[in-house]
Every structure is written in C-alpha cells, then in structure tokens.
Amino acid sequence: MHLFSILIFCVSFSAFPVLAVITDDFSKLPKRKYDFIIVGGGTAGSVLANRLTELNRWNVLLVEAGPSHEGVFDSAVPGFAGRLSRSLYDWNYTSIPQASMNNRTQNAPRGHILGGSSSINGLAYTRSSASDYDRWALHTGDEGWSWNQLLPYFLKSERWTRPSSGEDITGKYDPKFHSANGLVSVSISGQPLASDVKIARAIEELSGGFSFDPDPNDGTPLGIGWHQVTVLNGTRSSAATAYLGGRFASRKNLHVLVNHQVTRVTQTSHSPTVEFRGVSVMNQGGGPTHLFQLTAKKEVIVSAGSYATPQLLMLSGIGDPSELIKLGIQPLVNLPSVGKNLSDHPRFTMSWQLGTSNVIDPATNSTLQDEFLEQWLTNRTGPLSAPSLNQVGWLRLPEDSGLWDEFEDPASGPNAPHINAGPRGGGLYPLPGPLFQATCALTVPQSRGTVKLQSTNPRDHPLIDFGMFTHPFDIRALRDGVRLLVKFVSTPAFADYSLTPAGPFLGVDLDDDAAVYEVLRDATSNNAHPVGTAAMSARAASYGVVDPDLKVKRVKGLRVVDASIMPYIPVGHTQAPVYAIAERAADMIKGAWLT
Ligand SMILES: Cc1cc2nc3c(=O)[nH]c(=O)nc-3n(C[C@H](O)[C@H](O)[C@H](O)COP(=O)(O)OP(=O)(O)OC[C@H]3O[C@@H](n4cnc5c(N)ncnc54)[C@H](O)[C@@H]3O)c2cc1C
Ligand SMILES: *[C@@H]1O[C@H](CO)[C@@H](O)[C@H](O)[C@H]1NC(C)=O
Ligand SMILES: *[C@@H]1O[C@H](CO)[C@@H](O)[C@H](O)[C@H]1NC(C)=O
Ligand SMILES: *[C@@H]1O[C@H](CO)[C@@H](O)[C@H](O)[C@H]1NC(C)=O
Ligand SMILES: *[C@@H]1O[C@H](CO)[C@@H](O)[C@H](O)[C@H]1NC(C)=O
Ligand SMILES: *[C@@H]1O[C@H](CO)[C@@H](O)[C@H](O)[C@H]1NC(C)=O
Ligand SMILES: *[C@@H]1O[C@H](CO)[C@@H](O)[C@H](O)[C@H]1NC(C)=O
C-alpha cells in the first residue's frame, strides 16, 4: 500500500465506532464474578455477548484468544479477505496428511480475532435448504431447529442494506425473505463483472436445473441467483462490527477480554451433579504466562469453533476416556463423540483460459489496483467493496448420471442441492479477465473426520483429520460436478470466450474418470466450513455431545454454542446458520434463567 493511501486510511478509518469495554489487561477487569463467561469472541460468541447483556443486571465476560478487529484494514476491506488467511488473524491450523488425497495436508483457516471467522471469511451469506434444518429437528426431536422456527432467527440477525454503488437491485433478491431490522448487514455486491452477462445468457440457454433462482436464501436454493454477502456500505459486516461495536460498546455489563486464551473449563462441583462453571485463562503474546481462574454464577458457554471447542472440552477431561487417559488427562465426563464426525464441504476450482486477446487482469495490474484502493478509500465503492463473485449456483446432480445406482441420495430433500458452484470471470465489466473460473463444492459430503489432541499443552494445535474422500460417494459426486460445470461453459453464451481447460485440468481428458479423480485428489481442499465436532443429538441418544438445548450432556453449567453443534452439515456456507443458532441459543438461555 502506498504511503498516501495509509494516510487517508488513518483519517477516514478513525471515524469508525470504538469499543469502550474491550481490554487485553486482565487486571483492568472490574469484576471477578460474572453471570456468564463466554469462551471465544467469534461469530456465535459475539452474538451471545450482545443478547445476554440486553438484560442489564446480567454481567457477561467474553474471552477471545486473538486481538481486537478494530483498525484491522484487511478485515474491513471485503476485497482483501484473501490476505487474512495465514496472517496474525488466523490460527494457522494444518490438517494431518489426508490418505485419500495423496497424503496432502490442508490449511484449515480459523479466525483468531474478535468476530472470529466472520472477521476473516469470504463474506458469503447463504442460509442453505429448509430441509437441512427440518432434518436437524427430526434428528434432535426439537422442532425449534426446523426451518420454520429457525427462519425468525435468521431474520433477527439480518439487516438488509443496499450496495455502496447505489445500484438498483430490484429483482435480484426477494424482499419477502429478508429483514432490515437485524444487526449483520447483508447485501448484493453491486459491482458489475463482465461475466454477469455471460452467466445470465447461459442460464437462459440451459434452463432446467440451471434456471434463475430469484433468491438463494428463500429455503429452496436451486438454480443460479445473485450472490448475497455480509457487507455494509462496502465494508465487512462481521459479528464483531455488528454485535459488539457502535451503540453496544457502552454497555457497562459487557466486558471483552482479548489476547487471552481459555486453557480449560473446570469442574466446580462433583455431587449431587457434575458442574463445570469455571475457566482457566492464559494471557497470549509476549511476556511471562499468567493463569487466572474465574467462575460463572450461571453458565460457561463455549463458542470456540469446530476445532477449538472439542480441543478445549478434551483438555478439560470431557471426551472419550480411553483417548484422554493415553495423554494423561483424567477423564471427568464420558462423551466419546467429542471431536468426532468432523464434516466440511470438499471444494476445488475449475479454470478455463480465454482464447480472446481483449482481456484485462486486475490481479496483476498495479495501476488498476491503486485505482480500486482509492475508490474504496474515498467512496467505499469499486471492486474492493465486495467479493469478486456475483452469482451463486445450487445444482442437483442429474437423475441419469449412474451415481444413484450406486449410492442413495444423501441430500436432506428434493430442494437441497448437491453442488455449490461459484462461476466468475476475473475481469471488470465490460472486459473479461484472462480466466473464467468456477468453484465447485460438494454440499452433501458423506466423509467424516476427527479433531483430536496432540498433547495436553493448550498452545499446541489440535490434530485435524478431515477424513476427506474416505467415503466413496464424495469424489464420485464431485466428478459429476465437473460435468455440470463443463455443460455450463459449453453453452453458446461462452462461445466467443474460446475457453480451454486450465489450472489443474490443463490437458486432462475430462471423459477419463481415473484422470479426473487424480486431479480431484490433488486439487480439492476443505471449504473452511468445519462442523459437527460437538454435535447435538436427541436427549436419549447414545451418542452426541450436547442436548437440543445445547447443554453439554451429563454436565450442569456448560453449554456449547457454535458451528460444532451442527449434526449434519447444511448445504451452504456456515456463517448464516451460526448467526441463527446463536440467536436461538440466546433466547433459550434467557428462557432458562428468567423463569
Ligand atoms: C477463511 C474462511 C472463509 C470462510 N468463508 C465463508 C463464507 O464466505 N461464508 C460463510 O458463511 N462462511 C464462511 N466461512 C465459515 C464461517 O465463517 C464459520 O463457519 C463461522 O464463522 C464459525 O463461527 P463459530 O462461532 O463457530 O467460530 P469462530 O467464528 O471461528 O469463533 C471462534 C472464536 O473462538 C476463539 N477461540 C478459540 N479457542 C479459544 C480459546 N481457547 N479461548 C478463547 N478464545 C478462543 C477464536 O479465536 C475465534 O475468535 C469461512 C471461514 C473461514 C475461516
Ligand atoms: C500465522 O502465520 C503467519 C505467517 O507465517 C504469521 O505471521 C502469524 O503470526 C501466524 N498467526 C498466529 C496467530 O500465530
Ligand atoms: C501415504 O502415506 C502412507 C504412510 O506413510 C503410505 O503408506 C502411503 O503409500 C502414502 N500414499 C501415497 C499415495 O503416497
Ligand atoms: C456421527 O453422526 C452419526 C449421524 O448423525 C451418528 O449416527 C453417529 O453415532 C455419530 N458418531 C459419533 C461418534 O458421535
Ligand atoms: C492496466 O490497467 C490500466 C487502466 O485500466 C490500463 O490502461 C493498462 O493498459 C493496463 N495494463 C496492462 C499491462 O494491462
Ligand atoms: C467518488 O464518488 C464521486 C461521486 O460519485 C465521484 O465523482 C468520484 O470520482 C469518486 N471517487 C473515486 C476515487 O472513485
Ligand atoms: C458510505 O461510505 C461513504 C464513504 O465513507 C460515505 O460517503 C457514505 O455516506 C456512506 N453511505 C452510507 C449509506 O452510509
């Protein structure tokens, strides 16, 4: 970034709301006894901290391992999201070698910052299929997790806004399914890309499963529609900016401790019930390590995310006793499902080279990049004001592919897609970029993995095994996904682009299954959507970690509220469901303590 830009940045950025209650100095905390202690100031944790402090007699402490999001430029600028992985704001986890993927390891990004992964993610706002939630309800025996009962919580968290460009977005979404009264801003990019026209034409030419989807967030995401993103006037809207900033900063009953990691939740009573209302907290960063103990009067709520939540539970003696004993941890609560059933969407990107010469590549043109930055700094508009993806595709695999002779359809219902496609050209309207690309994610993966402890040291990363491609359905379905994408770009709409496969598919015979599988094993990764590692199950189930009210089974005073509680991965990106889960959890917690 040029010096001139940095100066403008300081001036314009200081106008952002400041959080008053946030500190990284434990000794400055005014209280030692809190009604609720929330572990992890991420997506779910920020929602809970906000909602529980609506009652001003409840004191809440939110403990976050990473730093504050305030003044973090790359987090604020949507177009710079890609810079946040493997930065100070990422835990930098790496999976163990994936045996079914030629032993490759994978980056497993996770927010290490206030707002958690919502402060570093790709800003996609997708709610998934109604039937995904109806399956949760069936699985847990709690109708409250059904789409009809969860939709009000999606709406409670959402604040629909217009894009900073002022573009008219009428017809690009269905207002019936949106709310202007929530906190997280949701919008449409408003930045035209050359590929918009091509994609619209291809949709008309193909129709069928590729039809225009009037709103991808209406509970029946099928077809291709305009992509919705968590952006407010060209700036990232995260759990931290939406739920902890602005008018909430002055709440005297909300205390946010950053740069502090909870190392254990601790047992505070053995009989007549097992209670876990304590936490051990360790300072991060430089200087000597200090450990502090705190107790919650009402509950400890673990919202550390799908990797750190099972890690913390296991470090605390909650998990599979035989695994804990091997590491020298005294088992306190027998819950073998902790860290099991890790699920994520396997995803790869297909690229095609344009055969035409009239292209422009913003990614390598520094003149353009300077213009974009200036546009963002002065007006919050331009390509940096949104992710460079304008359409989202939700596709079913065809009936006649042969796949269904071998496998049962794992989708939650006929309105749940199998494939999530993100088609885009890198260029700016009207000139296309040198590549046309489409991400392709399997929305209904059958493989499951694990999160285990590497050691008893809370600073050590957990052992993440996605188990990717361990179930034969997944790679088989992705191969059919490749065919869908090829069908899409083979329409007359794309003819004048003269596309030829590039990237990992360069020179690969797409009809040769063995060759395609080999590319998929080398080029597929996780989608940063880990779920299921502290899954909810019915009260009477012999497995699972939390009950449908998200209380840890067999324990009092301890709840888990984050993506880890999802029993089945929804078809879409996972932040919108986490917002809804946390909003509902806040109501359940209020209900439990206000009677
Ligand atoms: C790079 C990336 C891109 C993504 N893109 C999208 C997208 O475009 N759209 C979408 O919907 N979803 C996306 N996701 C997924 C989505 O952001 C997550 O599913 C969601 O934010 C998870 O919320 P959470 O509350 O479960 O966990 P998080 O938001 O990750 O919060 C967990 C918090 O706990 C903190 N923490 C962990 N351990 C401790 C501890 N011991 N003590 C104290 N604090 C602790 C962490 O630092 C973190 O702040 C993406 C995720 C990533 C990482
Ligand atoms: C993650 O890795 C990057 C690059 O190596 C490093 O700068 C950053 O500090 C790391 N993040 C954390 C939280 O340690
Ligand atoms: C993966 O690693 C295992 C154990 O080291 C080895 O036996 C196996 O041959 C490797 N597989 C591939 C495809 O390299
Ligand atoms: C994993 O999830 C499945 C389906 O929800 C369930 O049947 C199974 O018992 C779970 N396994 C564990 C170890 O929790
Ligand atoms: C970079 O972009 C500028 C502004 O659009 C354009 O004039 C120039 O030709 C581009 N340079 C290259 C190398 O494409
Ligand atoms: C900002 O917006 C104004 C008004 O539309 C416009 O005149 C100006 O060129 C824009 N500035 C930049 C840097 O894009
Ligand atoms: C969006 O941000 C720009 C630049 O800071 C500002 O001029 C404009 O008023 C903002 N618009 C809204 C709706 O807040």
Q: Which atom of ligand 2 lies nearest, measured to the CA of 112?
A: 13
Mutate to test the pocket of ligand 4, among 140, 318, 340 (most ligand atoms within 8 A of CB): 340
User: Distance (Å, rounded) from C-alpha 44 to C-alpha 462?
Assistant: 21
pLDDT digits (tens, 9 = 90+) for 514-525: 999 999 999 999
Mean pLDDT, the chain, integer: 94
Q: Where do runs of H (alpha helix) occur along 259-365?
A: 305-315, 321-326
The predicted pLDDT at position 100 comes to: 97
Q: Which residue's CA lies nearest to atom 9 of ligand 4?
A: 543
What ligand is nearest to the CA atom of residue 103?
A: 3
Region of 455 (left: φ > 0; alpha: ψ -120 to 50; beta: rest) is beta
The predicted pLDDT at position 562 comes to: 99
Is the CB of 289 within 6 Å of ligand 5?
no
Q: Which residue's CA lies nearest to atom 47 of ligand 1?
A: 112
Q: What is the DSSP string of 507-573?
A: T--TT-HHHHHHHHHHH-B--S--B-TT-B--TT-SS-SB-TT-BBTT-BSEEE-SGGG-SS--SS-
Is the CB of 567 within 6 Å of ligand 4?
yes
Residues 403-411 have a mean pLDDT of: 97
For the cut 90, the answer to whether the pLDDT of residue 429 exceeds it is no
The predicted pLDDT at position 287 comes to: 80
Q: How far is the CA of 340 from the centre of ligand 4 (A)?
A: 8
Q: Which residue's CA lies nearest to atom 5 of ligand 2?
A: 86
| Element (DSSP H or E) covering residue 90 | none
Residues 317-331 have a mean pLDDT of: 98
Higher-confidence position of 125 and 13:
125
The predicted pLDDT at position 271 comes to: 86
Q: Which atom of ligand 5 lies nearest, measured to the CA of 371?
A: 4
The predicted pLDDT at position 12 comes to: 37
Q: How far is the CA of 521 from the centre of ligand 3 (A)?
A: 13
pLDDT digits (tens, 9 = 90+) for 302-318: 999 999 999 999 999 99
Is residue 529 annotated as part of the catalytic site, yes or no? yes
Q: Which residue's CA lies nearest to atom 41 of ligand 1?
A: 262
Higher-confidence position of 167 and 207:
167
Is the CB of 161 within 6 Å of ligand 6?
no
90: which strand partners?
111
The predicted pLDDT at position 18 comes to: 40
Q: Residue 174: how many CA atoms within 13 Å on its side-chain side?
A: 13
* 334: nearest Cα among 274, 395, 409: 274
Q: Which residue's CA lies nearest to atom 7 of ligand 7?
A: 379
- Structural tokens at position 505: 């598919």
For the cut 70, the answer to whether the pLDDT of residue 6 exceeds it is no
For the cut 80, the answer to whether the pLDDT of residue 9 exceeds it is no
Q: Which atom of ligand 5 lies nearest, measured to the CA of 360?
A: 14
169: helix, coil or strand? Answer: coil
For the cut 60, the answer to whether the pLDDT of residue 185 exceeds it is yes
| Residues annotated within a binding site for FAD | 262
CA 340 to chain CA mean position, Å: 19
Mutate to test the pocket of ligand 5, among 364, 368, 369, 370 (most ligand atoms within 8 A of CB): 368
Is the CB of 102 within 6 Å of ligand 3?
yes
Q: How far is the CA of 69 from the centre of ligand 1 (A)?
A: 13
Q: How far is the CA of 544 from the centre of ligand 6 (A)?
A: 55
Most confidently modeled range among 6-15, 400-409, 531-540: 531-540
pLDDT digits (tens, 9 = 90+) for 140-168: 999 999 999 999 999 999 999 999 999 99
User: Distance (Å, rounded) from C-alpha 108 to C-alpha 247?
Assistant: 34
- With cut-offs at 50, 70 and 90, classify the pLDDT of residue 11: very low
The predicted pLDDT at position 309 comes to: 99
Q: Which atom of ligand 1 lies nearest, measured to the CA of 306?
A: 26
Residues with Cβ within 8 Å of residue 125, at least 6 apart in sequence: 186, 217, 228, 229, 230, 573, 575, 576
Q: How many CB atoms lie within 10 A of CB 282?
A: 17
Q: Is-contact 390 195, C-beta < 8 A?
A: yes
Q: Which atom of ligand 4 lies nearest, measured to the CA of 535?
A: 14
pLDDT digits (tens, 9 = 90+) for 474-518: 999 999 999 999 999 999 999 999 999 999 999 999 999 999 999
Residues 414-438 have a mean pLDDT of: 93
Q: How far is the CA of 341 from the centre of ligand 4 (A)?
A: 6
Share of the chain above pLDDT 90, in %: 90
- With cut-offs at 50, 70 and 90, classify the pLDDT of residue 430: confident
87-101, 197-211, 282-296: range with lowest mean pLDDT: 282-296
Is the CB of 371 within 6 Å of ligand 6?
no
- Structural tokens at position 126: 């997708």
Q: Which atom of ligand 1 lies nearest, measured to the CA of 41?
A: 49
User: Distance (Å, rounded) from C-alpha 1 to C-alpha 217?
Assistant: 36
User: Distance (Å, rounded) from C-alpha 397 to C-alpha 392?
Assistant: 16
Is the CB of 110 within 6 Å of ligand 2?
no
User: Distance (Å, rounded) from C-alpha 149 to C-alpha 143?
Assistant: 7
Mutate to test the pocket of ligand 4, among 136, 322, 337 (most ligand atoms within 8 A of CB): 337
For the cut 60, the answer to whether the pLDDT of residue 8 exceeds it is no
Q: Which residue's CA lies nearest to atom 10 of ligand 3?
A: 103
Q: How far is the CA of 305 from the centre of ligand 1 (A)?
A: 6
Phi, psi of 438 (to 5 degrees): -145, 120
Mutate to test the pocket of ligand 1, among 121, 309, 451, 525 (most ligand atoms within 8 A of CB): 121
Q: Report cis status (omega within 30 of 0) of the bond before 410.
A: no
Is the CB of 449 within 6 Å of ligand 4?
no
Q: Which residue's CA lies nearest to atom 12 of ligand 5?
A: 365
Is the CB of 259 within 6 Å of ligand 2?
no
User: Distance (Å, rounded) from C-alpha 278 to C-alpha 256?
Assistant: 17
Residues 346-354 have a mean pLDDT of: 98
The predicted pLDDT at position 278 comes to: 97
Domains belonging to the chain, first-starting first, are 17-123+237-345+449-466+530-594 (3.50.50.60), 158-235+346-444+469-523 (3.30.560.10)
Global pTM value: 0.97
Between the CA of residue 491 and those of 416, 497, 498, 508, what are the distances in Å? Answer: 25, 11, 11, 20
- Structural tokens at position 137: 């309800």
Residues 115-134 have a mean pLDDT of: 98
Share of the chain above pLDDT 70, in %: 96
Q: What's the residue count for the chain? A: 595
**DSSP code for 124:** B
User: Distance (Å, rounded) from C-alpha 551 to C-alpha 263?
Assistant: 20
The predicted pLDDT at position 595 comes to: 78
Is residue 139 annotated as part of the catalytic site, yes or no? no
Q: Which atom of ligand 4 lies nearest, measured to the CA of 541?
A: 9
Is the CB of 374 within 6 Å of ligand 6?
yes
